[in-house]
Amino acid sequence: MALKYSRQRQAVWDFIKDREDHPTASVVYEGVRESYPNISLGTVYRNLMLLKEMGRISSVDIGDNAVHFDSNITQHEHFLCRKCGALRDLNTYDMPAAGLHLKAAGFSGRVESYSIIYSGICENCLKKEEEEN
């Protein structure tokens, strides 16, 4: 299926491709709207989902009922700060290690993906806490 060239999709892609903060569709919408005032939130959302289907972006579910889009399409973990809500990438795990880990725990199937979200307090918030004390 050939995809029709879309300037709007290009604008959405340009906005998200270098972002590391896992923006929701609303954040992308606010950003893209600066250059495309007539774009709708629905259009932005559809284009994000399309980019995801195309394998150019991924998404993270942190249980807040919003899809957080991710320009990093390699397998990685996330850290969610419960104070400021920052969601950032971590790269401490890898597929072979995950497989060995599960083998050691008695699992003999094949691991194809994983989703890990650590939560706690980020460096910035910790620093602020220390300054306040």
* Residue 86 vs 111, nearer CB to Zn ion: 86
Binding site for Zn ion (CB under 5 A): 70, 72, 81, 83-84, 86, 89, 122, 125
Question: Residue with structure tokens 């394998």?
Answer: 55
Shortest distance (Å) from residue 70 CB to Zn ion: 4
CA–CA separation, 59 and 61 (whole Å): 7
CA–CA separation, 86 and 80 (whole Å): 6
Shortest distance (Å) from residue 22 CB to Zn ion: 6
Shortest distance (Å) from residue 40 CB to Zn ion: 26
Phi, psi of 50 (to 5 degrees): -65, -45
Do residues 69 and 25 lie in contact, with contact meaning Cβ atoms separated by under 8 Å? yes
* Residue 90 vs 100, nearer CB to Zn ion: 90
Shortest distance (Å) from residue 125 CB to Zn ion: 3
CA–CA separation, 32 and 35 (whole Å): 6
* Residue 17 vs 83, nearer CB to Zn ion: 83
Shortest distance (Å) from residue 129 CB to Zn ion: 10
Report residue 52 CA to chain centroid gap.
Answer: 11
* Residue 63 vs 106, nearer CB to Zn ion: 63
Do residues 20 and 71 lie in contact, with contact meaning Cβ atoms separated by under 8 Å? yes
* Residue 8 vs 75, nearer CB to Zn ion: 75
